[in-house]
Structures are given as C-alpha cells and as structure tokens.
C-alpha cells in the first residue's frame, strides 16, 4: 500500500512540473490592452422650456380653500390657453391640502382653531422662448403666485447627440494614439466600447409673484446655452 501511495504522488508531482514548463496561454489572456475615455461636447441654444407654476390659497375651511384654489387655477389655465399654449402642454403635476394651526399673534399660543391651505402646481411646456417673459407675466396676472423653476432644454437632441458621440470617439482615438506613441506600442483594434451621455437642464430662477397683483413689464428671461456631453470608454488591443 505504501508503494502505491508513493507511486501516485510521484506521478502527480511529475504532471505538475510538466505543466509548469508549458506555454502560459491562460496567463496571457486576450493580450495587452489600452483603455481610454473620450469626451465630446456640443454647445447649443435651447429651444424649449418647462415651467412649474403654482397657485396657493388659504381659507377658514377645507371646502373654501379648495373652491378658491380651483377658481384661481382655472383662471391661470384659461390665460395660458388664450396666450396660445396648447392644451397638451398643460398638466397638473401636484395637488395638496393641509390644515394649519392658528396662533394668537400677541401670545404666540395655539388658539385651537385651524385654517386650510391648498397648493395646485401646473407643469407647462413653453415652445416659443421669445414669448417666455410675456407668458410669465400673463400667468402671474391671472392668479399664479409661485413659479418654482424654469428648465431649458432641446426638443430634439438626435442630431446634436450624434455630433457629441462623434467628438467623443475622435477624442478617445487621439488619446489612444498619443499614449501608444509615448509607450512605444501599436494599436491593433478596438476590443470593447461603451457609451454614456449627459444632458443637464439649464435652470433659470424666478421669484414668487405677488398673488396675481400683476407685473408692469415683461420679465427678461435668457436661456443661454446648454451643453450636450457624450462619454465613450474604448479598449484597444496593443502590441
């Protein structure tokens, strides 16, 4: 039995030695690679805006608060339609109602009475930016008393995204060629490529209105420029 054990051990040891002397195919994997990340950017003027317009009302009872808010919000919606905003570009984004405790102004103590507040927020797509200032004036005069944000965007990003991706690939190629030259290696072929894009909104701040008190002149709103960014990660085989 001891002789058999020694013989088996010798065979296993010989196999391990022979395998170690063979070509290291697994260790070489798929060959040497070079990874680069390319960035492409396109600057363009927005052609569309998204607005959150709100109507806030407060009344002694919930029913009165809702009724007052409904009437005031409808005035805003009617004003939008009369201004030329398409019905499909007007959406109710949120509606909320909540009780508020009433406090004695002299003592600061809770009187035990309540009144009710209602918020109705309308999401609007504005497709003519040349009239955006006039549109804001119109809704404030109609009864909107909060404009929470204005987001500028591009309605169709198809072509500019193509441009950004093309710039990103060119940038990656240039980096790869530069690094390969510095390292004295040659690029063989692309073995992997991945892509991501980034298109943040351009925001404009707009303060709260005066509860429908009106504005004497159009609000100057400038959309500026937005940046369309594409990122590509490229892996090259090198030799």
3-state secondary structure of 186: coil
Handedness of CA 92, 94, 99, 105 (dihedral sign): negative
What the block records as the tokens of 232 is 């590509």
Contact present, 195 and 230 (Cβ < 8 Å): yes
| Beta bridge pairs of residue 35 | 235
pTM attached to this predicted model:
0.69
> Which DSSP letter does residue 200 get?
P
- The full set of domain ranges for the chain reads 47-155+202-223
The confidence score (pLDDT) of residue 201 equals: 60
Contact present, 140 and 212 (Cβ < 8 Å): yes
Q: What is the DSSP string of 54-85?
A: EEEEEESSHHHHHHHHHHHHHHHHHHHHHHT-
The confidence score (pLDDT) of residue 210 equals: 45
The confidence score (pLDDT) of residue 221 equals: 72
The confidence score (pLDDT) of residue 15 equals: 41
Q: What is the mean pLDDT of each run of 10 residues along the chain (239 residues)?
A: 42 39 36 94 94 96 97 97 96 96 90 94 96 94 92 93 96 96 95 84 54 50 86 96
The confidence score (pLDDT) of residue 149 equals: 84
Superfamily grouping for domain 47-155+202-223: Protein of unknown function (DUF541), domain 2 (3.30.70.2970)
Tally the C-alpha atoms within 13 A of residue 223's C-alpha that lie toward its C-beta: 25
| Beta bridge pairs of residue 170 | none
């Amino acid at each position: 039995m001891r002789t058999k054990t020694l013989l088996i051990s010798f065979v296993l040891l010989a196999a391990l030695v022979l395998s170690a002397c063979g070509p290291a195919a697994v260790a070489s994997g798929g060959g040497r690679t070079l990874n680069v990340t390319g960035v492409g950017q396109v600057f363009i003027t927005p052609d569309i805006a998204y607005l959150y317009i709100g109507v806030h009302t407060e009344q002694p009872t919930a029913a009165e608060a809702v009724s007052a808010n409904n009437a005031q919000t409808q005035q805003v919606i009617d004003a939008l339609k009369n201004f030329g905003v398409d019905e499909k570009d007007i959406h109710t984004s949120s509606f909320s109602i909540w009780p508020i405790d009433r406090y004695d102004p002299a003592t600061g103590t809770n009187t035990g009475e309540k009144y009710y507040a209602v918020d109705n927020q309308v999401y609007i797509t504005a497709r003519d930016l040349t009239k955006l200032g006039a549109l804001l004036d119109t809704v404030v005069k109609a009864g909107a008393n909060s404009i929470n944000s204005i987001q500028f965007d591009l309605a169709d990003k198809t072509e500019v995204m193509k441009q950004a991706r093309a710039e990103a690939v060119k940038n990656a190629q240039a980096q790869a060629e530069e690094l390969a030259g510095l390292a004295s290696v040659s690029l063989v072929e692309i073995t992997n490529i991945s892509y991501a894009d980034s298109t943040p909104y351009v925001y404009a701040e707009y303060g709260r209105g005066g509860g429908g008190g009106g504005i004497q002149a159009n609000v100057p709103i400038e959309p500026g420029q937005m940046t369309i960014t594409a990122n590509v990660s490229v892996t090259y085989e090198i030799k």
